[in-house]
């Protein structure tokens, strides 16, 4: 693989071939005017063929590697254009324009293959470089200045370094002189000794005679690896910070829990069965009382049991005495004990308006029971408590009136008026990170 400047030297030889070809074309035109008396070479079949053949020979029979070498599709298209030009089906300017356009494409390809984005100092700069390379609306003569600007190249330093470098790497220079030129241009040990010291690995590669293209490739690869290591380090650091915050939050919760335990020792009620103090770290509670007291604040304190024995002895009687269905004597378990109630779901439901807004511990044995007694409960509890507490609640849109008797109504959607016991438990456990036993 040729170093870029060696390739440049080869291309400059090709440029000299283009100059020679241009002179030959002009000579053909001049001789045609002198010898054949034609005002334009296209009027002379003999000279026109000579002119086309000379230009074709320039591109299809070049003896050295040039910018168009290997661009087979272009060369095939060019050969077809030459054939048509001999038959005067294509104007000479069309061929010239096609060559100019292809050379611009070749130039863009060369720039893209330099992997300039690997020299970027940030992802933003790399994206800006890639956008420039992909923008085909930017004229080729403006592309290089824009790339230099994007890379923040020091124009004066660039001209100085490149001028000296170009003279030192001309073909024919001994390897030691070229290696010295590479080191000076890439690492500038005299201008920036600390940076050069960090790049000793690459300086040694140059001293060992490694091609500059290989050294630059290793530099680009190492930069990408370093960037990957930095990205991984940043991700790990972020994860570590998240873990630290989570640990700190957990410690705060533990401190609050310990404080709550200490407070609870002095403030929580005694066992509802034996009246002994309960262990703040190990006790049983009535889940309905716990929710009504802690979640909805409609009870002053929950009902507690100090042991499994007291719980078995007192829980059922407590529920019967304290958590009677708010339908009272109209409860469907009393009026219609054979009715099909919800057998697969937790039965108890809270009245949403009572526990969330009116401060009432209203609960029902089942959704169906509440639905059947909705008007009785609303008229007997909601309306008086609203007036008493000056609560302005408009629920007319949630009611469905009997078309035969407008004094009778039911809930349009009973689900809007209830909170299921399981949902209340789930909300409380999520909020407190505790478990009701």
194-211 in b/e burial notation, b at 16+ Cβ within 10 A? eebeebeebbebbeeebe
**CA atoms of 6 and 12, how far apart (whole Å):** 10
The pLDDT tens digits of the residues spanning 106-163 come to 888 888 877 776 666 677 877 888 888 888 888 888 887 887 777 766 666 666 666 6
Which pLDDT does position 266 carry in this prediction? Answer: 57
What are the beta bridge partners of residue 282?
A: 279
Question: Quick one: which of 283, 270, 277 has its CA closest to 309?
Answer: 283
**Predicted local distance difference test score (pLDDT) of residue 160:** 63
Mean pLDDT, the chain, integer: 82
pLDDT higher than threshold 80 for residue 261 = no
pLDDT of residue 204: 85
- Give tens-digit pLDDT for 181-193: 777 777 777 777 8
> Comparing 269-283, 359-373, 402-416, which segment has the lowest mean pLDDT?
269-283
Q: How far is CA 430 from CA 115, 262, 293, 427, in A?
A: 53, 22, 16, 5
Written as six digits, the tokens of 396 are 């007319």
Q: Mean per-residue pLDDT for 358-382?
A: 93
Residues 60-75, mean pLDDT to the nearest whole number? 88
Cβ atoms of 437 and 393 closer than 8 Å: no
Residue 361: alpha-carbon gap to chain centroid = 49
Q: Which pLDDT belongs to residue 337? A: 66
Q: Is the pTM of this model over 0.85?
A: no
- Measured from the Cβ of residue 93, the count of other Cβ atoms closer than 10 Å reads 8
Region 191-220 average pLDDT: 80
Going by pLDDT thresholds of 50, 70 and 90, the confidence category of residue 95 is very high
Specify the pLDDT at position 153. Answer: 64
Q: What is the pLDDT of residue 343?
A: 44
For residue 52, pLDDT beyond 60: yes
Confidence band for 199, pLDDT divided at 50, 70 and 90: confident
Q: What percent of the chain has pLDDT over 70?
A: 82
Tokens of 317: 């009687």
Average pLDDT over residues 401-415: 92
Helices and strands (DSSP H and E) totals, the chain: 19, 7
- Is residue 411 within 8 A of residue 399, CB to CB? The reply is yes
Confidence of residue 225 (pLDDT cuts 50, 70, 90): confident
More confident: 268 or 320:
320
- Mind giving me the DSSP string for 11-37? HHHHHHHHHHHHHHHHHHHHHHHHHH-
pLDDT of residue 165 exceeding 60:
yes
| pLDDT surpassing 80 at residue 167 | no
- Condensed to tens digits (0 to 9), the pLDDT of residues 278-333 reads 876 677 889 899 899 988 999 988 899 999 999 999 999 998 888 999 999 899 88
* Average pLDDT of span 28-38: 90
Chain position carrying tokens 């890379």: 151
Q: Of the given ranges (14-28, 40-54, 148-162, 411-425), which has the lowest mean pLDDT?
A: 148-162
Residue 345, pLDDT > 50, answer no
Confidence of residue 342 (pLDDT cuts 50, 70, 90): very low
Residue 80 has pLDDT above 80, yes or no: yes
Please report the pLDDT score of residue 235 as a whole number: 80
Distance CA 337, CA 121 (A): 79
Q: Mean pLDDT throughout 50-65? A: 90
Q: What is the mean pLDDT of residues 58-79?
A: 89
């Amino acid at each position: 693989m040729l170093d870029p400047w060696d390739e440049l030297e080869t291309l400059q030889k090709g440029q000299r071939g283009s100059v020679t070809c241009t002179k030959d074309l002009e000579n053909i035109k001049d001789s045609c005017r002198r010898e054949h008396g034609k005002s334009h070479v296209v009027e002379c079949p003999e000279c026109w063929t000579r002119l086309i053949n000379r230009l074709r020979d320039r591109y299809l029979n070049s003896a050295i590697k040039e910018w168009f070498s290997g661009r087979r599709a272009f060369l095939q298209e060019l050969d077809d254009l030459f054939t048509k030009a001999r038959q005067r089906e294509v104007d000479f300017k069309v061929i010239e324009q096609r060559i100019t356009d292809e050379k611009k494409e070749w130039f863009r390809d060369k720039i893209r293959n330099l992997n300039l984005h690997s020299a970027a100092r940030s992802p933003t700069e790399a994206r800006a470089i890639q956008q420039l390379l992909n923008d085909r609306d930017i004229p080729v003569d403006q592309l290089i200045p824009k790339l230099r600007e994007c890379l923040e190249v020091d124009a004066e330093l660039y001209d100085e370094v490149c001028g000296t470098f170009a003279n030192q790497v001309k073909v024919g220079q001994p390897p030691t002189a070229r290696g010295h030129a590479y080191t000076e241009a890439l690492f500038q040990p005299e201008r920036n000794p600390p940076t050069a010291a960090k790049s000793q690995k690459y300086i040694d590669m140059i001293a060992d005679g490694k091609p500059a293209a290989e050294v630059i490739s290793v530099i680009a690869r190492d930069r990408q690896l370093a960037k990957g290591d930095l990205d991984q380090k940043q991700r790990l650091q972020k994860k570590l910070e998240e873990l630290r915050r989570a640990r700190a939050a957990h410690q705060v919760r533990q401190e609050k829990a310990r404080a709550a335990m200490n407070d609870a020792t002095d403030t929580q009620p005694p066992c509802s069965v034996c009246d002994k103090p309960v262990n703040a770290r190990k006790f049983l509670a009535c889940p309905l009382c716990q929710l009504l007291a802690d979640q909805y604040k409609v009870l002053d304190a929950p009902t507690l049991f100090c042991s499994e024995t007291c719980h078995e002895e007192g829980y059922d009687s407590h529920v019967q005495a304290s958590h009677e269905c708010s339908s009272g004597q109209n409860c469907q378990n009393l009026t219609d004990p054979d009715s099909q109630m919800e057998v697969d779901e937790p039965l108890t439901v809270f009245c949403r308006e009572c526990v969330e807004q009116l401060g009432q511990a209203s609960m029902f044995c089942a959704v169906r029971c509440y639905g059947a007694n909705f008007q009785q409960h609303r008229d007997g509890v909601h309306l008086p408590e609203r007036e008493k507490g000056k609560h302005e609640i408009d629920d007319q849109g949630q009611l469905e009136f009997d078309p035969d008797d407008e004094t009778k109504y039911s809930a349009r959607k009973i689900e809007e008026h209830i909170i299921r016991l399981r949902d209340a438990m789930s909300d409380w456990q999520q909020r407190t990170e505790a478990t009701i036993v």
